[in-house]
Amino acid sequence: MLNISQTSISSKIAKEEYKSFKKLENRHDSTFLIKVLAAIFIICILSLFLPWTQNIRSKGYVSTLNPYDKPQNIQALVGGQIKDWHVTEGDVVALGDTIVVLTEAKEDYLDPELLSNTKDQELAKSKSADAYLAKRRYLSEQLTALADNRQSKLKQLGIKQEQIDLETLSTEELLNAAMTYALNARKQLDRMQIMYDKGIKSLTDLESKTLSLREAEAKKMSYENKLRKLANEQTALMQEMEVVEADYQQKLSKVESDIQGADSYRYSLEGETSKLKSKYNQIARRQSAFVITSPINGRITKVLKNGIGEYVKSQESIATIVPMNYQRAVELYILPVDMPLMKEGKKVRLQFDGWPAVVFSGWPNNSFGTFAGEVFAIDNDISENGKYRILVTEDATEKAWPELIRIGSGVQGLLLLNDVRVYYEFWRKLNGFPPDFYEGVTTKDVKNKAPIKKFK
């Protein structure tokens, strides 16, 4: 009874007549519960000294290690209308198999003879360029002939100049001889005059010497006139050489100008030929691009364009293909605070979506349904979701990953760190400390560190 009221009725109740009151009065303290609680306490204390593997939990998805193994879109190189589909979703295709066939839809390329017409234009331009090349060859030959003619003409004038020089030299010698002869005749005439005045010589002898003097002076004058004539011829010859040089230079310049003009027009024609050849190749490539084939061996997973006659733009995706054989990898995303703990080669336990697993966080080796991996690469740049991406590949020394996992399926990862005791892990998490990432540092090393100085 609770005995809440001040008036007690205990004396009015015959307790010996009721079994319940007898059991209450005869109760004794039980030690079973105390023993159970003590055992649980001891087990908890001992479990604090069990080994514990520190880990970082993260989520990600299945991907591929090589870029060319990832799912890719099949795109139309040129725009057109869908004519015929050769695959359906889920089909397995080989490299080069036809996916879809398009038809031309752009008005600039609707001419059925466009390819042959473009080829004819290219050939016409090419022949025109060849004609100007032949013209340049003829002009070059003409230029060479003019240069040879100029050299020959100048050589002839040079020979004539040498002849005039020789004749001038000979006439100068004859003039010198005539001057000497005239001087001697003058002296003889003077002596003859003296002798005539004295009556020694006759008048006939005097007239004879006078005639000799006149002949000598006439001969001297003749040579002088010849020298002046040769000098005039020399001057005329120099002028003729200048005229010949100027004339041939003008002709050579004109031929060179014609050659430059022929080259310029030929280069223009060759440029137009190259443009037409490029256009021809573009048209041929465009016509061949209407048949879209598979770039890899894979499976068509999704068709992005439907129906017949639907227009497809250039570089627009029309289907998605997934490679049949690829090297699988897992992309996991971790927080920036855990980045200093990451290193290539770190062990990882993975749980794939669709594969049941029982995970013991601190005892990964005892987990059921998880698969082993190791860190292959770590991004240095943060992702858009504010985390860092790491790539995990299959651990060849452990059980192989399931063959049926697909690209894009979800993954939960346990990145394994240090092996510590349970009590340390509790203490670390209660204080909010990160996992210990000092490697190879013992307690003795920590004690031997220099003490921290306290600033006043």
**What pTM does this model have?**
0.51
pLDDT at 165: 86
Range in 88-97, 125-134, 397-406 with the lowest mean pLDDT: 397-406
| Domains of the chain by start residue, with CATH | 53-68+326-438 (2.40.30.170), 71-104+290-323 (2.40.50.100), 114-281 (1.10.287)
For residue 456, the model assigns a pLDDT of 36
- Beta bridge partners, 388, equal 334
Could you read off the pLDDT of 58-81 as tens digits, one per residue?
888 888 888 777 788 888 888 888
86-90, 212-216, 235-239, range with the lowest pLDDT: 212-216
Identify which has the larger pLDDT, 419 or 248: 248
| pLDDT band at 10; cut points 50, 70, 90 | low
* Residues 31-58: tens digit of each pLDDT: 778 888 888 989 888 888 888 777 778 8
Q: What is the mean pLDDT of residues 298-325?
A: 85
Res 443: pLDDT: 40
What confidence score (pLDDT) does residue 302 get?
Answer: 85
**359: pLDDT strictly greater than 60:** no
Q: Express each pLDDT in 142-182 by its tens digit.
A: 888 888 888 888 888 888 888 888 888 888 888 888 888 88
Residue 419 has pLDDT above 60, yes or no: yes
CA distance 213 to 232: 29
Q: Mean pLDDT in the chain?
A: 80
What pLDDT was estimated at residue 454? 38
Q: Which residue has the higher pLDDT, 368 or 36?
A: 36
What tens digit of pLDDT does each residue of 96-124 get? 899 999 888 777 777 778 888 888 888 88
Reported as a single tens digit per residue, the pLDDT across 247-280 is 888 888 888 888 888 888 888 888 888 888 888 8
Tell which wins on pLDDT, 85 or 432. 85
Instruction: Give burial (CB, 10 Å; 0-12/13-18/19+) of 52.
Output: buried
Q: How confident is the model at residue 449 (pLDDT cuts 50, 70, 90)?
A: very low
pLDDT of residue 445: 44
Taking residues 338-360, what's their average pLDDT? 77
Question: Distance (Å, rounded) from C-alpha 140 to C-alpha 133?
Answer: 10
In our burial notation (b when 16+ CB lie closer than 10 A, e otherwise), range 134-163 reads ebbeebeebbeebeeebeebeeebeeebee
Query: pLDDT band at residue 452, thresholds of 50, 70 and 90?
Result: very low
**pLDDT of the residue at 368:** 61
Q: Which residue is listed with tokens 């005045």?
A: 197
Direct distance between the N- and C-terminal alpha carbons of the chain, in angstroms, rounded to an integer: 69
